Chain A
Amino acid sequence: MNDSDDIRIIRTACPAHCGIDCCGILAHIKGDRVIKLEPAEFPIPNDKRICLRGLSSLDITYHPERLKYPMKRVGERGEGKFERISWDKALNIISEKFKNISDNYGWKSIGWVLGGPGAGTTKFGAYLRLASLTQSTRVSAWGYGDAGVPCGSRTIFGSQFPYMYLFGTFWQRKWPDLLVVWGSNPAEAAPLQTMRKILDAKENGTQLVVIDPRFTITASKADVYVGLKPGTDTALALGLMHVIFKKGLYDEDFIRFETNGAYLVRIDNGKFLRGKDIGEKKVNAFIIYDESSSTAKVLRRSTLKTACITGEYEVGGIKCKTALQMLTDLAKEYPPNKSAEITGVSPELIIKFAEKIGTVDKATFFTWMGFTRTYYGDISLRGMISVATITGHVTTSISSGYIPAVLNWDPFLKAIPDKPSFHRMGILNLYNAVISGKPYPIKALWFAFINFLNQCVDCNKIIKELFPKLDLIVQTELFMTPTAKYADILLPVCSFLEFSDFLPRPYPYVQLQQKIIEPLYESKSDVDIVAGLAEKLGYGQYFQGGENAMIDLIMDHSSLDGYSREELRNKAMLLRVIPEDSNIPLPFSTPSGKIELYAEQLSEDGQALPVYLPPVEAPVSGKSQKFPIAFIQGHSRFRTHSMFANVKSLLELNPEPIVDINPTDASKRSINSGDWVTILNERGRATLKARLSETVNSGVIDITEGWWINQFKEGSVNHLTHDIVNPVQNKVYEPNMHMNDVAVEIIKYKEGEK
């Protein structure tokens, strides 16, 4: 590459759905072709980075199998037979069909299934805007694995995300004495924004504990690895709390002032004692028990100072306990031996770990989404946060770092201010809506940036029950994915080098994903596709000016004053610095305005406390059953979900799906490394090669998610998963898919046998 004179270099950023990494990238262009990608500079030099997927992105852009033009299905759904049509014809077919469906069922029977836009904003916003204008249904993708965290976080913190409270300061490079990575593998899933910092922290003296049913690469870097059974996290949290309470290692002041631990709870109905219960004028006020006067008092800043945080009291004939006492009593039922028996972690380790958490000056708890992909994953998160809370390891105010950007979502969420907007439906509830018409029928689905069939639970149900009920399936895609084969209309979309977007990431930056080359073939960006359809539907005026107009619109918020698209063309820009010692309190939008160790609104569901409830399906009790193996899905460094699964250069390093099985389980079944095996349960099968590995314990198998269905000999990971709805999650936010809460058996594959 010496003829550098002909090469132009333009900055852009990778929006891939790897969470938060969002690497700045320099694209080297020769003629009209991008010939190389390399990491771009960030204002903080150490943040310059790229990953092996980002490096390999050109193999997506220039992949020989890219979809090149709009197509209409001519064979059966799933057969993959299509014929080329023009954009105009494709959009005409869709708009006619949409009008037809809306005449019969109403616009809300048309659903937009928007998957992970990665860090992208306007490509997501464009769809929301059209959904809002037409008052159709936005199918939220939180529920395809990511709803457990908001369910738990909303309950305990009153916030969609728990991250600022748990590790906001960690992102600002404030290294704790102890870092607990719980159910997360950033070494492969978020190597740059997170794993690098974990390695930095270790280098600066932080002790690292990793809790995971898999011995991940992150776990390999741990000082102490805690290998537990899948879905038993809450039992571990309760075991830790047992020791912390018993040894008096909890942070009394933190509990008193930052949580609802001192509030009195009625034993008879699990509700908080209120002013009206004891004849106070403030009928809804919370009540505490005053230590000095031995009387119940209305909660005030002044009364809280002398409130009892533990104990059982009778107030006006009503038996009560403090919320903390309720939690303590629950934890009492989980001595280390019992917690050990459930989780598979040694009791000695539970004790030492709890003592460490309770005695270090600063501990940070880190997690993403993985361990909440179990039926009670939201409670697992609350369990972990409860451990952090009672020991005072939760951040309640920030005095350094950067102020996150707020985007101008209003024109997208509510395109016409005085008119109703779109309907919202969780993706797991979509199954019922399509199949049974409840709560209302969905007759057409548009899939964008989602490989729905591949990545959502229970493939056989989708193929046999869900897809056949749909009058129209549209997919925007780069490739003939397993889902695309079921589309009626298939629209070719650009790779990230062919369109522009605004990326408010990674923390602490904002970036521009800049169009580097013109769209290849007849592909278009999602924004342009939506604009084209909107034109047909009579909403063209809302989409004038294409991507750049959309970017300007979404950046039109006071938090981004002084930042411009023009300036972002050449650099990432730092967010505004939080003035030192400004001590900005982090809000808790819970009913109490505090961290809720006790969630009154879930008392009728028996989940006011982080109770341990066994996984809905994963067999962890050791009792013999038909499907005795717990099946979990880790993440692979070679893919971002199902992206990159078809990239040849990465397939050379990691050629095919593999199931990791413990040698003990393998030998019982006469399975050797390299053997074809079938994993099965009542819903389906997956056939692939086995690898004997101690990365999983006996009783657990692991296949990394994201391999395409056609890459298996038979079935896929999601032919085994289930669509059981957790009604409490449905009440709190929306139900999650529980990909890591699945029971299976594994057998040697026999040709022709079903």
Chain B
Amino acid sequence: MIIDQERCIGCEACSVACRIENNTKNFWIHVETQGGGQKDIPKGKFPNLEINFLPQLCNHCNNPPCVDSCPTEALIKREDGPVILKSDLCNSCKACIAACPYDIIKFNEENKIIEKCNFCSHRIDQGLEPFCVICCEGQAMFFGDLNDPSSKLIEIISKRKVFQLKPEENTDPSIYYCHPRPKRIL
């Protein structure tokens, strides 16, 4: 997946969509404000201000520390990319929460189970896109197969510089981001 910060308007429709699709009380996606340190607050002094948004979901890492940490093999890395949680195998030990450098795995306080984004694998398996992607207001989220040369993702990567979160963790996330475009002065 590629998330284009230029097109993200911070609306949180992805967070809301995810919660509805996965029928949970937790937000598996959260939208971080990059600005003045508080949600929706820019940095700088009026009128020289800047704010950007960084939606964060499970990175579906290619070297997923959560999978390594799981003692019951409830977490698996699928061959086609998603890191998914098999709830029936999970004993809620929370080792994965400690292992994830992105703080993205959730504990459901109500029914005491671990929850995480499964990349909407139930939809992917039907040939559909993740629900957050089709509900993204700004059309900032792009889903596809990086091994498929005809994918929209390849087109974006050929034109824009992309980055992953916390590369120093060597997790090799499957979620890539594009920085906002530079401002053009008059």
Contact = CB atoms under 8 A, between A and B. Distances in A.
A2 B137 contact: no
A38 interface: yes
Given A191-B138, A220-B51, A649-B16, A202 B9 contact: no
B16 A55 contact: yes
Given A55-B13, A199-B138, A225-B49, A694 B42 contact: yes
Interface size class of chain B, counting residues whose CB lies under 8 Å from the partner chain = 35 or more
B52 A220 contact: yes
Given A36-B20, A39-B134, A223-B185, A195 B15 contact: no
A730 interface: no
A444 to B, nearest CB: 41
A694 B44 contact: yes
Contacts of B12: 52, 637, 653
A322 interface: no
A195 B42 contact: no
Contacts of B36: 693-694
A698 B45 CA distance: 10
Contacts of A56: 16
Contact of B139 (A51, A199, A649, A653): A199
B9 A217 contact: yes
A1 B122 contact: yes
B139 A196 contact: yes
Interface in A202-228: 202-203, 207, 209, 215, 217, 219-227
Contacts of B23: 1
A51 B20 contact: no
Interface in B35-63: 36, 38, 41-42, 44-47, 49-52
A223 B135 contact: no
A714 B62 CA distance: 53
B184 A207 contact: yes
B11 A51 contact: yes
Nearest to A206: B184
A352 interface: yes
Contact of B135 (A55, A219, A349): A55
Contacts of B7: 199, 203
Size category of the binding interface on chain A? 35 or more
Nearest to A653: B12
Contacts of B32: none
B137 A356 contact: no
Nearest to A58: B20
B112 interface: no
A203 B185 CA distance: 16
B137 A223 contact: no
B106 to A, nearest CB: 14
B9 A191 contact: yes
B131 interface: yes
A215 to B, nearest CB: 5
A260 B111 CA distance: 72
A697 interface: yes
Interface string A649-666: 110010000000010000
A52 B131 CA distance: 12
B148 to A, nearest CB: 19
Interface in A165-211: 187-188, 191-192, 195-196, 199, 202-203, 207, 209
B20 to A, nearest CB: 6
Q: Which of B21, B51, B131, B185 has the most CB of A within 10 A?
A: B51
Contact of A693 (B17, B41, B181): B41
B84 to A, nearest CB: 15
B11 A52 contact: yes
Given A52-B16, A199-B7, A695-B41, A191 B46 contact: no
B46 A696 contact: yes
A460 B38 CA distance: 35
A197 B92 CA distance: 45
B137 A220 contact: no
Interface string A518-535: 000000000000000000
B10 interface: yes
29 contacts: A2-B122, A38-B134, A39-B135, A46-B139, A48-B134, A50-B135, A52-B17, A55-B16, A56-B16, A188-B9, A191-B9, A192-B137, A195-B137, A195-B138, A199-B139, A215-B46, A215-B47, A217-B9, A217-B10, A217-B51, A225-B47, A637-B11, A637-B12, A649-B16, A650-B16, A694-B41, A695-B42, A695-B49, A697-B46
Given A55-B17, A694-B41, 11 more contacts: A1-B21, A50-B135, A52-B137, A55-B20, A187-B9, A191-B137, A192-B137, A196-B137, A222-B183, A223-B186, A356-B186
Interface of A: 1-2, 36, 38-39, 46, 48-52, 55-56, 187-188, 191-192, 195-196, 199, 202-203, 207, 209, 215, 217, 219-227, 349, 352-353, 355-356, 637, 649-650, 653, 662, 673, 691, 693-698
